[in-house]
Amino acid sequence: MTTLDLTGLAARPSQAWGAVRLVPLVRDEPVADLRLRSQLYGDAAGLVEVGPRDAYISYIPHGFVATWTDEGTPAAAYGTQLSTDGNAAPSATMGLHFHRRMARRQAKDRLRFLPMHLALEGYLALHFGGPSIAWEEWSQRAIRQGLSPRVEEAYVGAEVRGLADALRIFEIHPNQCGVMVYVADALAATFAVPHPDDYRALHPTLLQDLYGELIHHCATLMPPVQDFRARISDSQIRSLAHLRTAVAEQEHAWTYFHDTTMAAGLLEHAYTWQSVYRMGRFTLSRFLPPFRPKQENHIGEAITDDRGRIAYLKTFRLSESQVRRGHLLSRLAANDWHLANTAADLGINEAQLGLRLESAGFGLLLRQEVLDGYRKQGRTRTG
């Protein structure tokens, strides 16, 4: 497990609009030999094949196409393209795109992948096979089908109040290659790309991305956030050089505060990484958190270079209910799906664990008479 290292990306002063705060990320040196462009799919739902017999359905508004060069020379971006598909379904019906795998090579130096679906598929596939040992408490459905079907919900960015206005109004810095999106000062998402031109082209896609339940509620219910304003005392300013130094100190202080305080929940924790695809000197990966209950947890995907530096990054903040589900599954798997041992590991009794599983949506995995017994014990204790 390793932490998330944003070396090469520096935070600039934030811009606030209502409950939304955007923190620009800039690069001193763009990654010239990796470029991203958007591939639009329209409003049709997508059927994604993740294996020979496994698939899931999701709203997929766009995919990313990565272009790279093996020799490290600059690669030109294709640019975002709008095209008309003559075989598209009529507007009165719901179209369906078929995507063969989430990361698919389109040419020798080109890879198409579905943003955030790599990370979400990693979360949905968490111990998807179900119990590794057929203990007597588990139902035949759990043994035969595991966690199928597994369903999670998210909100499209256009439904996050204030985000569209913030993205439209705020300026884009000359060397900006990313942004950290906060809602009510809760980190909603991080988005970084290799080159400033890529960011300008992909900036609007933040409205098509997925955001968690917590973020949607914060945007709807929370008041506007306060802006952080730099204050420079004029008592020590005697020249333009003094003023430049004072401004640089304020920028450094903001960057330090942001990285160590506002973004600490993302940057100071270790993640479990899984490589998905290698392309030249770059590696496309996804990562999962250790699922810490009542703490900040993010899943995400990244493209790193041969030195481990982030070239592309996209994160998604899990809701507390999603964290609880991930935590329960992780503890069950760590204890070979033995309910008594898992309950002892969590510091609760077996009936309480069974009721937690039911509350998390996993009640169907337990045999009916076992679950009824846990319910009866729960009523006895509360009575």
For the segment 161-173, what is each residue's pLDDT rounded down to a tens digit? 999 999 999 989 9
Cα 78 to Cα 33, 58, 62, 69, 108: the distances in Å are 13, 26, 15, 14, 15
Contacts of 276 (CB under 8 A, 6+ apart): 102, 103, 113, 118, 284, 285, 286, 301
Contacts of 256 (CB under 8 A, 6+ apart): none
pLDDT score recorded for residue 230: 73
pLDDT > 90? residue 192: yes
Residue where the block lists tokens 């960015």: 157
pLDDT score recorded for residue 86: 42
Side-chain-facing half-sphere of 124: CA atoms under 13 Å: 19
For the segment 325-374, what is each residue's pLDDT rounded down to a tens digit? 999 999 999 999 999 999 999 999 999 999 999 999 888 889 999 898 98
pLDDT score recorded for residue 212: 87
pLDDT score recorded for residue 39: 56
Burial of 240 (0-12, 13-18, 19+ CB in 10 A): exposed
Q: Taking residues 131-140, what's their average pLDDT?
A: 85
Characterize the bridge pairing of strands 186-192 and 310-317. Answer: antiparallel
pLDDT > 70? residue 200: yes
Quote the CA–CA distance of 79 and 82 in Å, as a whole number: 10
Length of the chain: 383
- Tell me the pLDDT band of 31, cut-offs 50, 70 and 90: confident
Contacts of 253 (CB under 8 A, 6+ apart): none
Quote the CA–CA distance of 91 and 93 in Å, as a whole number: 5
Quote the CA–CA distance of 319 and 335 in Å, as a whole number: 25
The answer to whether residues 303 and 284 touch, using CB atoms and an 8 Å cutoff, is yes
pLDDT > 70? residue 196: yes
Quote the CA–CA distance of 35 and 29 in Å, as a whole number: 14
Q: Taking residues 192-207, what's their average pLDDT?
A: 90
Quote the CA–CA distance of 363 and 123 in Å, as a whole number: 19
Contacts of 204 (CB under 8 A, 6+ apart): 167
Mean pLDDT (the chain) is 80
pLDDT score recorded for residue 1: 56
Quote the CA–CA distance of 43 and 295 in Å, as a whole number: 34
pLDDT > 70? residue 142: yes
For the segment 244-258, what is each residue's pLDDT rounded down to a tens digit? 888 888 888 889 999
Which residues face 94 on adjacent strands?
Answer: none
Edge-to-edge strands of the sheet including 96-100? 55-59, 45-49, 96-100
Quote the CA–CA distance of 75 and 194 in Å, as a whole number: 11
Q: Taking residues 182-210, what's their average pLDDT?
A: 91
**Two tokens, residue 214:** 């917590």
Q: What is the pTM (predicted TM-score) of this model?
A: 0.77
pLDDT > 80? residue 138: yes
**Of the candidate ranges 6-15, 115-124, 239-248, 316-325, the one whose mean pLDDT is the lowest:** 115-124
Q: Taking residues 4-17, what's their average pLDDT?
A: 92
For the segment 37-93, what is each residue's pLDDT rounded down to a tens digit? 665 545 544 444 555 555 544 445 556 666 656 555 444 333 333 334 444 433 333
**Two tokens, residue 351:** 């009936």
Q: Taking residues 149-176, what's their average pLDDT?
A: 89
pLDDT score recorded for residue 108: 54
Given phi > 0 = left and psi -120 to 50 = alpha, else beta, which region is 36? beta
- Tell me the pLDDT band of 280, cut-offs 50, 70 and 90: confident
pLDDT > 90? residue 128: no
